[in-house]
Structure 1
């Protein structure tokens, strides 16, 4: 996802609504607000008002008090006059405690009778991503291993943000995502220009505790410039991320630096906050991260000029 706190907030508000299984019409009736108002609250274009937010959260059965804090954190992050860094802590805030005993191979299980497939029903054990910038069009191959915490997990959401590079005024803006192995992609959605989401349907339902590996290939259209970063922002528990970016040896960046647990807005500051990294003789920079915090960014940024 991109670096906007507003978009981060909207993503989790949409996730809450999806978990509750409410249509926009049902949500409008329960909140007393119009359909357009509740829809706009989840679009990510503008930060919704506090009353609308808490009405939506209450209608969806969410934690109104904690969402009020989350709303205030985002509001402060959007305030140009706010002093100092703003720590935004998105959901989930209180993950369910593991059940006693063991189940599957990892000893973790959701409450009895749980049929949900939102992020609480699985977590990410590892993400290994190889980004190629030495090809005619930028592409990445991503191998993920997930662990089910619900019996009968059949599909999971996959989503990517492809923000425009500064100065890009081309008409189109796209991303091609294909499943190499481990499932098939369905329900392609493009809710706003930079955000692409689908569902990965697994080859067979997973039992709680079972690991599953899948591989995706991401391609930027040939004429579309890529923003100068690649960042993993976990939206559920994510234990390990390894990233390798291979630059074009004929056009290596002037500076490359690592991002570790930064708020999304920091990604776009294009200001090295850590020591600079140098590509190896093959033009590659590699980094690894462990035990990442939900909602924060991990990866690489670079500058060509």
Structure 2
């Protein structure tokens, strides 16, 4: 087997951003570089270079990869053109015009206006300054260390919303008594992280500073990448516990096909204590041929858990 591609560090470069998402598309399809080369008709070196993040690939190579992986070819064509334009030193708009995937199902919805507003003359931004319209998370357990890409659509309910707390609980895996315990967080799009918020032994909070203050009723999309530090074990579950209004949660977990879980089950509207019981108590789910298990939740109750638990290979 060939060496795995070097990890892409997102540093604001449109070339790296494009390669990051092209590589993500290939990962979702589950193809090796050799398989992808065979399906596209281009060499392994060519398809590998397209996802290296050093140079913007040609349009024919890009669309051949997208087509082979079952991606949205027209939208990827637009995305390719946006990045090409952003790389043009004479283009005044630059990165402002780059809209990376995953895209909204309904065109233009992310920047639209919602009907909900705060009470008249409300000047507060919390706790009712915004709510979460949707959360879409892809958790990768087939990577060297667990990582999640999380996309959120929030709706401002007060004029002038400029900052949103981003809090994540990372419980210890049973039996883990190591000294170090952390979480790496970075923004893919939709703002920048600033200032550490409250931080406890297993809870990490940062503040997302939005590109511009939002008007009441305006939607905003942001994406964060969460990564468990190398060698740190992860608790065998991923659960969304809404602390404020949250309307829709979609979770996809990609397991390592070489080490499939013994059992996977849904948690829907459970007290947090139930998460740690390690008892399926529900129909057991099985990963598909790509190692994926998916679950969706709506009408979620604040303070209750929604997500997936699993029992790993070799676990009792």
Q: TM-score, normalised by structure 2?
A: 0.63
What are the Cα deviations for residues 192-226 of structure 1, in whole angstroms up to 9, with x where unaligned? 11000011111111111110000000000011000
Is 1:292 aligned to 2:283, yes or no? no
| C-alpha displacement of 1:190 | 4.9
Is 1:192 aligned to 2:200, yes or no? yes
Is 1:266 aligned to 2:274, yes or no? yes
Name the structure 1 match of 2:151. 143
**Partners of 1:174 and 1:143 in 2: how far apart?**
21
Counterpart among 122, 130, 150 of residue 130 in structure 2: 122
Q: Contact 2:269 / 2:301 at 8 angstroms: preserved in 1? A: yes
What are the Cα deviations for residues 31-62 of structure 1, in whole angstroms up to 9, with x where unaligned? xxxxxxxxxxxxxxxxxxxxxxxxxxxxxxxx
Is 1:222 aligned to 2:230, yes or no? yes
Output aligned runs, 1:1-305, within 5 Å. 105-304=113-312, 305=315
Q: Contact 1:108 / 1:209 at 8 angstroms: preserved in 2? A: yes
| C-alpha displacement of 1:112 | 2.6
- Give the structure, 1 or 2, with the largest relative contact order (CA under 8 Å, sep 6 or more): 1
**Partners of 1:110 and 1:257 in 2: how far apart?**
38
What are the Cα deviations for residues 3-30 of structure 1, in whole angstroms up to 9, with x where unaligned? xxxxxxxxxxxxxxxxxxxxxxxxxxxx
Q: What are structure 1's unaligned runs of at least 5 residues?
A: 1-103
**Partners of 2:140 and 2:191 in 1: how far apart?**
23
Secondary structure of 1:217 counterpart:
strand
**Partners of 1:175 and 1:115 in 2: how far apart?**
33
**Partners of 1:283 and 1:170 in 2: how far apart?**
30
**Partners of 2:271 and 2:208 in 1: how far apart?**
27
Q: Contact 1:183 / 1:202 at 8 angstroms: preserved in 2? A: yes
Name the structure 1 match of 2:44. none
Moved >4 Å (runs of 4+): none
**Partners of 2:198 and 2:143 in 1: how far apart?**
26
| C-alpha displacement of 1:111 | 2.1
**Partners of 1:105 and 1:217 in 2: how far apart?**
26
| C-alpha displacement of 1:187 | 1.5
- C-alpha RMSD of matched pairs (Å): 1.1
**Partners of 1:248 and 1:115 in 2: how far apart?**
48
Q: Contact 2:197 / 2:207 at 8 angstroms: preserved in 1? A: no
| C-alpha displacement of 1:113 | 2.8
**Partners of 2:158 and 2:299 in 1: how far apart?**
21
**Count of residue pairs the alignment pairs up:** 202
Q: TM-score, normalised by structure 1?
A: 0.65
**Partners of 1:198 and 1:112 in 2: how far apart?**
30
